Amino acid sequence: MIRVRDVTHRYDKQVVLDEVGLTLPVGQLTSIVGANGAGKSTLLSVISRLIRPEQGTVFIDDLDVGTAGADAISKRLAVLRQDNRITARLSVIDLVRFGRFPYSKGRLTPEDHVVVEEALDYLDLQLFRDRYLDQLSGGQRQRAYIAMILAQDTDYILLDEPLNNLDMKHASSMMTLLRRAADELGKTIVLVLHDINFASCFSDHIVAMRDGKVVVQGTPAEIMQRETLREVFDMDIHVQDLHGMRLGIFWTTGAPVGPGPVVAAPADASGAELGTVSRA
Amino acid sequence: MTTTTTRPVPAPSRGGVRAVHLWVATGVLLVGSYLSLGIGAASSVGVADLFPPTADEWHILATSRIPRLAAVLLAGASLSVAGLIMQRITANRFVSPSTSGTVEAAVLGILIATMLFSSTSLVVKMLIAIVTAIAGTIVFLQMLQRIQHREGIVVALVGLMYGGVLAAITTFVAYQRDMVQYLDIWTTGSFSGILEGRYEPLYIVLVVGVIGYLFADRFTVIGMGESFATNLGLNYQRILYIGLIVVSVMAAVVVVVVGAIPFLGLIVPNVVTLLLGDNVKKVLPLTALAGAGFVLACDVVGRTAIHPYELPVATIAGGIGGVVFIWLILRSAKGASV
Ligand SMILES: Nc1ncnc2c1ncn2[C@@H]1O[C@H](COP(=O)(O)OP(=O)(O)OP(=O)(O)O)[C@@H](O)[C@H]1O
Ligand SMILES: [Mg+2]
């Protein structure tokens, strides 16, 4: 269980986290959503002891993140930040092997190698295993980082915008993979996501942040409401139910509502307001 | 026809360090080392006399040529490894003992030691030089952490200028104490003064080198950045400082015994890692061999080019090193991934 108690953090004078309290149960997939600058990354960094907050405490089970050594936490929690830039020319396989560092300290056992190979398989990286990181595309590199995190094989996995740079296929298989890790292996997974529909379809729990505060949290069904989303994102998002998936239609603000063919090309472009969609 | 979905076979591993690299490098170095024993001021002992040497010839070998060879190999290996470690822990290709004030701080330390104690032993000089080298490198690291774009050439410029400032202070003090003539000895590395009994403390670098090797993976990890290091359970600052001490000790010991060899710690690790990647544990042994080989070659050239006179190794290494350094800068300025 992750318990965040009364965490406040400031940059200069700006309050970035404002007395945040949060409890995340074990074995669930939680998504944190919110606008740019809402404080999601800061919260994730505080939970994973990458940032020491001005005030407040974080517990991972019985471990106080503020006082436990980096080493103890590294076997229980793995974290990947939003922007990663490794300047070293490391190969993918070397990077993923470093995921085993908390256990092996550099001397890999046969089991370590098995875990590494699995991580490479999961993220579809076997073809690139001997490439240097700087010879990969952005999405391939993102997958390599996540493979390293998976190789760390921790109970808690925290990923800040893991779908960054991923194509649709890899984004959806990434979410499926994380969902399975929660269901089958009992991992506790916390993600920062911008795509509310991925959050809606794959999470057990959604935490919505705004201006350094948790404004609302709950199940996808509870969060995926037009009113709630307006409160969080300042945007009119129509929510539709499709075979039990609650999907927010956010590409164009404020509708379309109702089924059927919805788009009709405006006969007179000058008369039509840009971005409006006529209803059938 | 059946369609089978087979997983694409991963391409066989290209690149990276393989055992054959190490064997070849070791072999070349051994042969080169042995042949180099045939070169020296006493022309009575030539290459032909090495198979096998007589008792008299052996005396020359044991008191002069073998110590010199050992010093060449140790200095070359340790400065190169120091550069390798430094570049990784700072995540910057342009950082090395001679481009970050480490060497200049060590020279200042030797000057202070010579001033404080009239008859200074090598060991005392060495201890004081180690302390000043560590202090000087810490100051550089503090500056580095204030620079926004840490991977760029700016860092090299700052380091060179900082080293310049330290060198200026050293010269100023030396002028006041009428000791300028010594400065040349410390700042211009040369093996001509290496004799049995006057170089043995250099073996310290072997011990420090082993420590460096044991920490190699940790250095690679902190080179991935503070977040990755913390995530993998390392105390970033602690490993950074361990690396810094390893590097400073190596550099200071070489400066005390041999003198400064400019750019060595910059160019050797750069060439090795450009070819074989930045995994410290994998490239460290080869970097040591390459550094030793490079300095051996420079020393042999220095001794034969204007025989019977001798060019200091620093002059030759500095000339070649400067050219390679400029090439590296131009390369990165063109936008090659540094
Ligand atoms: N190192 C820093 N120095 C100063 N201010 C910062 C720093 N890092 C973040 N901030 C500020 O803190 C606030 C929260 O940042 P944070 O990175 O947590 O947002 P976020 O919710 O992750 O946003 P995004 O969706 O864009 O990633 C922002 O207003 C940001 O400008
Ligand atoms: Mg963020």
User: Does A142 sit in the ligand 1 pocket, CB within 6 Å?
Assistant: no
Pocket residue to mutate for ligand 1, from A8, A11, A195, most atoms within 8 A of Cβ: A11
pLDDT for A277 beyond 50: no
Please indicate, yes or no, if residue A275 is contained in any of the structural domains. no
Q: Residue A256 is encoded by which pair of tokens?
A: 């379309």
The average confidence (pLDDT) of chain A is: 87
Asked if the Cβ–Cβ distance from A94 to B279 is below 8 Å, we say yes
The CATH number for A28's domain is 3.40.50.300
Q: What are the chain A neighbours of B278 within 8 Å (beta carbons)? A: 88-90
Tens digits of residue pLDDT in B200-232: 888 999 999 999 999 999 999 999 989 999 999
Task: Let me know if residue A122 belongs to a domain.
Answer: yes
- B295-304 pLDDT, tens digit per residue, is 998 888 888 8
* Domain range for A109: 2-250
pLDDT at residue B14 is higher than 80: no
Burial label for B98, CB within 10 Å (0-12, 13-18, 19+), is buried
pLDDT of B5 strictly over 70: no
State the pLDDT confidence band at A44, using cuts at 50, 70 and 90.
very high
Q: Is the model's pLDDT at B13 over the cut of 60?
A: no
pLDDT of B11 over the 80 cut: no
Strand order in the sheet with A77-80: A77-80, A156-160, A188-192, A29-34, A205-210, A213-218
How many domains does chain A contain in total? Answer: 1
Ligand nearest to the CA of A16: 1
From the list A71, A86, A89, the residue facing B233 with the nearest CB is A71
pLDDT of B304 reads 83
pLDDT tens readout for residues B31-60: 888 777 777 666 666 666 666 667 777 777
Higher pLDDT, B274 or B7: B274
SS3 A51: coil
**pLDDT of res. B278:** 92
ipTM of predicted complex: 0.85
User: In angstroms, rounded to a whole number, what is the distance separating the alpha carbons of residues B120 and A242?
Assistant: 85
Mean of the pLDDT values across residues A136-140?
Answer: 90
pLDDT band per the 50, 70, 90 thresholds, residue B314: confident
Who contacts A105 (Cβ-Cβ below 8 Å, separation ≥6)? B217
pLDDT band at A33 (very low <50, low <70, confident <90, very high): very high
Point out the least confidently predicted range of A15-19, A109-113, A158-162, B29-33: B29-33
* Residue A270, domain member (yes or no): no
Of the residues B89, B150, B232, the best mutation for testing chain A's interface (the one with the most A CB atoms within 10 Å of its CB) is B232
Q: Is residue A267 part of a domain?
A: no
Burial (0-12, 13-18, 19+ Cβ within 10 Å), B73: buried
Instruction: Please give the Cα distance from A160 to A141 (Å, whole number).
Output: 15
Question: Which residues 6+ apart lie within 8 Å of B4 measured at CB?
Answer: none
Is residue B241 very low, low, confident or very high in pLDDT (cuts 50, 70, 90)? very high
A276 is a domain residue: no
When pLDDT is averaged across residues B103-108 and rounded to a whole number, the result is 92
Q: What chain A residue is nearest to B274 in terms of C-alpha separation?
A: A89
Is residue A37 in a domain? yes
Residue A104 located in a structural domain: yes
Q: Percent of chain B, pLDDT > 70?
A: 87
Residue holding tokens 């590097």?
A: B247
pTM higher than the cut 0.90: no
Please tell me the distance between residue B16's alpha carbon and the centre of ligand 2 in angstroms.
35
Indicate whether A266 belongs to any domain.
Answer: no
Those residues whose beta carbon sits under 5 angstroms from the ion ligand 2 are A 41, 82
pLDDT at residue B43, as a whole number: 60
